[in-house]
Amino acid sequence: MTPKEVIDYAKKNNALMVDMKFMDLLGTWQHFSVPVSELEEHLFEDGLGFDGSSIRGWQAINASDMLVVPDSTTSVMDPFTAIPTLSMICNIVDPITKEKYSRDPRNIAQKAEAYLKSTGIGDTAFFGPEAEFFLFDDVRYQLTTNSSSYFVDSVEGNWNTGRDEQPNLGYKPRHKEGYFPVSPTDSLQDIRSEMTLLMEKVGMAMECHHHEVATGGQCEIDMRYAPLVQCADQLMWYKYIVKNVAKKHNKSATFMPKPLFADNGSGMHVHQSIWKDGKPLFAGNGYAGISELGLNYIGGVLKHSRALAAFVAPTTNSYKRLIPGFEAPVNLAYSSRNRSAAIRIPMYSPSPKAKRIEARFPDPSCNGYLAFSAMLMAGLDGIENKIDPGEPLDKDIYSLGPEELANIPTLPASLDEALDELEKDHEFLLKGDVFTEDIITRWIEYKRENEIDQLRKRPHPMEFYMYYDI
């Protein structure tokens, strides 16, 4: 929609408020609302002012004034507000220079798309994330000087088979057996359907939804692939809708990668491909029907995976999912059909248009704008430098012995290690000024000071279990 069409759209839908949504550094939507009387065409150029120093990872207090400039093409009616509200995703602009803000994740994603075009390799990068999440019925956690605790519960939790529920009807998925059961074991069908239909209502193309592997309410809803920036926008609508529909049903949704011990965590497998002039570039006559360009893309992603982890698995909790020998792939190999490899080449369809790669180590705690951009830049580095991914590994990697595993590189074992890798390996991200030294330095500093150090300082309940009587 053009700005004028947005104004007409707001009138047609009797909008009374306009909501400005934008992304903070870490990946959480922020917003503020103005009366619809403020919706004039100049708003799409002049923007509105706000305090950038109050947003995580952004401006210093002595340079706090920033502008949000709405993107007219993202206009949609918010499906949750009681007052009819037009919602738009915004870009962040410096009020002095009028340049887009280098720490705005959406700006980074826009620059990644522009860099792809500038290389002449392709004109469109398609991404398709499969974000998993849990729906809990009770969530409690606290941290004090002398105590720490958390508690999550789900009516589906297998740990509740003996609970007096007056009556307890059973039908609680066993650990690691929650994949695809029908109702009544899958008690979340209607909630997921409601989420899916609302996603379609805000303009997302949806493919399917289902219960996921873990007990305790793990779910997945799959959206159709889309160009990079659009896909990252849609991932934010996805999370917004999942959380708000869950709340409507008195449940709580979380995209935290590993909220439960001894069962599967939530990943976000990311399908990706490059196209040019409407033609897929990953289809070819090589291994698994993939082109040399596609193999080089895989080579780039594998080469830089240890650094990419800082963006695609960006929380300390991410590495409780990424443990060798368990459900998430940590070995940096590629294969067709093989879900134990870090990179999989799906083989569902012989159509060249369906040829893509799937990175299986990202998780949904990531900032989609940064994660997708970083993976694209790694893949493009592979294409530009003709990086050979080596031979595919078509074995069950989880069953390999120590000798066979010795020569297969692995992902970092912690966020701290991933940040160290990003410090050493980020030149590929700087091409085309897509990422800047400033944003990489700020990301590393923020994560170390506000996440790693905070966790490191605090005693853990498991430490009391192991060491209290020492």
Distances (CA, A) of 2 to 7, 40, 69, 90, 204: 9, 12, 14, 14, 19
| DSSP annotation of 448 | I
Note if 448 is an active site residue.
no
Catalytic residue among 222, 263, 358, 381: 358
| DSSP annotation of 449 | I
Note if 358 is an active site residue.
yes
Note if 451 is an active site residue.
no
Catalytic residue among 104, 113, 137, 220: 220
Distances (CA, A) of 119 to 298, 423, 427: 18, 25, 16
Catalytic residue among 132, 233, 381, 421: 132
Q: Is 90 exposed, middle or buried (0-12, 13-18, 19+ CB in 10 A)?
A: buried
Note if 339 is an active site residue.
yes
Catalytic residue among 209, 339, 442, 448: 339
Relative orientation angle of helices 437-447 and 305-312, to the nearest 10 degrees? 70
Relative orientation angle of helices 228-248 and 189-201, to the nearest 10 degrees? 140
Catalytic residue among 40, 41, 45, 51: 51
Q: Give CA–CA dist 152/150, Å, rounded.
A: 7
Catalytic residue among 211, 269, 304, 321: 269
Catalytic residue among 130, 137, 156, 233: 130
| H helix and E strand count, the chain | 14, 18
Q: Give CA–CA dist 374/312, Å, rounded.
A: 8
Q: Is 327 exposed, middle or buried (0-12, 13-18, 19+ CB in 10 A)?
A: middle
Return the closest-CA partner of residue 367 out of 62, 56, 4: 56
Catalytic residue among 192, 360, 426, 451: 360
Note if 269 is an active site residue.
yes
φ/ψ of 100, rounded to 5, equals -65, 145
Note if 453 is an active site residue.
no
Note if 165 is an active site residue.
no
Catalytic residues: 51, 130, 132, 212, 220, 269, 339, 358, 360
